[in-house]
Copies of this chain bind each other. A is one copy, B any other.
Amino acid sequence: MATVDPSLVAHLPLFAGFGAEDLAEILREARSLRFPKGSAVFEEGEEAHSFFVLLHGHVRASKTTQAGEQVVVRYVAPGETFGVAMAIGLTRYPATATAVDDSVALAWPSGTWPRLVAKFPALATNTLQTIGSRLQETHTRVVEMSTQQVEQRVAHALLRLAKQSGRKVEHGVEIDFPISRQDIAQMTGTTLHTVSRILSGWESRGLIESGRQRIVLREPHKLFVLAEEDPGEGGSPVRP
């Protein structure tokens, strides 16, 4: 079996502060796995057999309610860890992870985590920072859902996706994986209909350019202004 090239992952937050030897020892325990577009990496409620570092592609983490509605928890970009249930004291995955593109990830059996952490305490502190950042982001999301209207939330979501997984193209920044109106609705707590209407509006104003599962931000700054805007002002309100 081919082992993983340490130089590819040495710069990742998870391995911050590690020497080449330690890194090699950790990587020796990992396997590299391919996940074709659309396939599940793991399912919500399933025994948490492994934790992962994404190398290529994109993975969507989502939760499903009893009523069958899905909510997108986050999108995983290359270099990020995911499925770290064991590290936070869970024996089962709290969400479903689906490859939205052909993807490659390193996978460690969950059982290796306690041993690795015991030998390399920096793994715990690095993971603590990662999980802490995610907690901050999720709090931001709660604040947005509590105080902003749908249009602003969608704008923020697109800007965040562009920052995390944007690719510069001729006319702006394109979100670098297939994403539907429905996906955006599930990220922002609204319906695909409302998202479609909003994007149509933006497209006619030249802010974005979009197609089937494809979005290009042409005017990120204008979107940013719109995202921060108080709904009371702006636009062309009729003052009687």
Chain A residues at the B interface, C-beta cutoff of 8 Å: 63, 65-67, 69, 71, 73, 87-90, 94-95, 117-118, 121, 124-125, 127-129, 131-136, 138-139, 141-143, 145-147, 186, 189, 228, 230
Number of this chain's copies in the complex = 2
A36 to B121, CA, bound (A): 38
A127 to B129, CA, bound (A): 11
The 5 closest A-B pairs by CB, nearest first: A88-B132, A146-B189, A121-B121, A89-B129, A124-B124
Distance in angstroms from A155 CB to nearest chain B CB is 15
Chain B residues positioned under 8 Å from A89 (CB to CB): 129, 132-133
Q: Is the interface of A mostly helix, strand, loop or mixed?
A: helix
Taking a contact as CB atoms under 8 Å apart, the answer to whether A142 and B145 are in contact is yes
Most chain-B Cβ atoms within 10 A of its Cβ — which of A71, A117, A139, A186?
Answer: A139
Taking a contact as CB atoms under 8 Å apart, the answer to whether B132 and A87 are in contact is yes
A87-B128, A89-B129 known; 14 new pairs, CB 8 Å cut-off, are A63-B139, A69-B146, A88-B128, A88-B132, A88-B135, A89-B132, A90-B132, A124-B124, A128-B128, A138-B142, A141-B142, A142-B142, A145-B146, A146-B189
A63 to B117, CA, bound (A): 33
Chain B residues positioned under 8 Å from A132 (CB to CB): 87-90, 131
